[in-house]
Each structure stands twice: as C-alpha cells, then as structure tokens.
Chains A and B, each alone.
Chain A
Amino acid sequence: MTMGSALKTETVPIANSSDVVVVRQRVRAWALELKLSLVDQTKIVTAASELGRNTLEHGGGGHMEMSLVENGVKRGIRLRFIDHGPGIPDLDLALKDGFTSGGGLGLGLGGSKRLMHEFEIDSKPGSGTTITVIRWK
C-alpha cells in the first residue's frame, strides 16, 4: 500500500463507546480542514466509526492514530486503528459481508473497506490487530 508521508498526527484513545463518538468528531474535524466534500466526509467518518467500534468490541480497546498524509500531489487522511486483542484468525473470512464474530451485522470491515481508498490489515493471533485505511482527497 502507498502509505504516503505523514505531515501531522493525532492520537485518540478508544476505551469505551463514548470514545468512538470522539473518534468520529476528530475525523470530521480533519476532513473539514482538508476540505473534503460532504459525501467524502460522511464516508470517512462512517468508516472510522465502524473501525473504532471494531477496535473496542473485538480488540478490547486500543487507539486510533490519525495522520495527514501526502503522496506526490495527493493529500489524504490516514487512520490507523491499533489494538492488542486476540487478533483475527481468518482475514478473508473477517472481510466477508455478513460474517460476524460479535453480535453485529458483519459489515464493519468489508463496509469500511468500500468506503476508503486504501485498506490494510495486519493481524497476528494473540498479538493484536492494526487496521490502516486512507481516504485521498
């Protein structure tokens, strides 16, 4: 994945469901600052909400690292959701719509992948999960 270089970074802790609201608000603020269109703002905030909840529910909490990234003339927002939970044993299965290990609809991972331009999961059973997504302007 083209990661781009980070121009600035902010970290938001994710320990309870109110923190997921803070994640949404911070991502919205950055999306506004980057002057993303309303639809693009809505997409990145919705993806952040799904992934933040994922970090909380499946990873047992963690944090989001948000960066303004640049790749050539492109600028975008990179979100990295990091937890130290049990990890995802089967990535292909986890990305499938309708698959859920919790009580949800199983749209979190696959759905947020569709809402973002780049999507990468790094997960090892027992040592946690890092999900990195980017939405370019």
Chain B
Amino acid sequence: MERIPILRMGSYLLVTIQVDMHDKLALTLQDDLTERISSVNAKGVLIDISSLEIVDSFIGRTLANIASMARVLDAETVVVGMQPAVAITLVELGMSLPGIRTALNVETGMEYLRETVGGREESDDDDGLSTED
C-alpha cells in the first residue's frame, strides 16, 4: 500500500509530502502519524508541504486534524514551506487553517519546535535517526 514516509529524529517526527496526495493517502498519513506519535512518544511533528502545488479543503482539514490529534497526544505540530500561490488560494477558498502553527521553512519550523517542546523535554534515551515504512 502506498504510504508517505515518516522520519524520526530524536523526539521529533518529520514528514515531507512529495506526491500529489489523493484523499485516501492523506487519511493514511493521518492514521500513521497519530500511531507513530503515540508509539515513539514524539513531542513534535514537522510537516513539510513545500512540494505541494495545491492545498484544497480536504488536505487542509487533514492537516488540521493531525495538529489536533497531536495536541491531544501531547505533541506540537508545525506545517512548513507553503508556497505563496497555495496560501493565496487557500484563504480565498475560505480556509485560514486556524489552530495550525506554520513556519516558512524547515529551519524556522524546527527552531519553533525546539523552543516550544525543548523546555518540557524529558531525558532522551534515544537520539538516533530512524525511519520506518
């Protein structure tokens, strides 16, 4: 089954969406991410959407759902790299993505996560880089 890879870096999960997602793939990502947050006790999730050429209401809602579910599981989410044309269209469509923290690029996104999560981070027993799927 087609899946979007989730990369683990310490207590953070990183996702780079590089394909034009159909709705089922977006839902699979939502399930996989929620599962991973819980299984590795992740504190932060960074989703890079710089390759996405559009964000429609379904993808927008999926991103919002991921952020809400992550929050319930005690993890922060930041969505990074939205293209300007995508942002313009999304707002005109009527979605302003309330509740989603965004950053311009991966670097500032990671910085935000470190600042927000860093203070309450527990002793890390595993700082290794690992991938799955």
Q: How far is the CB of B36 from chain A (nearest CB, A)?
A: 23
A42→B24 contact, CB < 8 A: no
B86 interface hit (Cβ, 8 Å): yes
Q: How far is the CB of B37 from chain A (nearest CB, A)?
A: 23
A72 interface hit (Cβ, 8 Å): no
Q: Bound complex: CA of A50 vs CA of B59, how far in Å? A: 11
Q: Bound complex: CA of A114 vs CA of B90, how far in Å? A: 11
Interface string of A40-51 (1 = CB under 8 A from B): 011101100110
A50→B53 contact, CB < 8 A: no
Q: How far is the CB of A85 from chain B (nearest CB, A)?
A: 18
A107→B54 contact, CB < 8 A: no
Given known A17-B23, A104-B58, A105-B57, contact A42–B94 (CB-CB < 8 A): no
Q: How far is the CB of B65 from chain A (nearest CB, A)?
A: 11
Which secondary structure characterizes the binding site on chain A?
A: helix
Q: Bound complex: CA of A112 vs CA of B54, how far in Å? A: 13
Q: How far is the CB of A134 from chain B (nearest CB, A)?
A: 16
B20→A111 contact, CB < 8 A: no
Cβ–Cβ < 8 Å partners of A97 in chain B? 94
B57→A104 contact, CB < 8 A: yes
B132 interface hit (Cβ, 8 Å): no
Which residues between 1 and 32 of chain A lie within 8 Å of chain B, taking CB atoms?
A: 17-18, 20-21, 24-25, 28
Binding site for B on A (CB under 8 A): 17-18, 20-21, 24-25, 28, 38-39, 41-43, 45-46, 49-50, 53, 97, 104-105, 107-108, 110-112, 114-115
A-B contact pairs, 12 of them (CB 8 A): A17-B22, A39-B85, A42-B85, A43-B88, A46-B93, A49-B56, A53-B58, A104-B57, A105-B57, A105-B61, A107-B93, A114-B93
Further contacts, 12 of them, CB under 8 A, given A21-B21, A46-B55, A49-B56: A21-B22, A24-B20, A28-B53, A39-B88, A42-B53, A42-B83, A45-B54, A46-B90, A50-B57, A107-B57, A114-B92, A115-B93
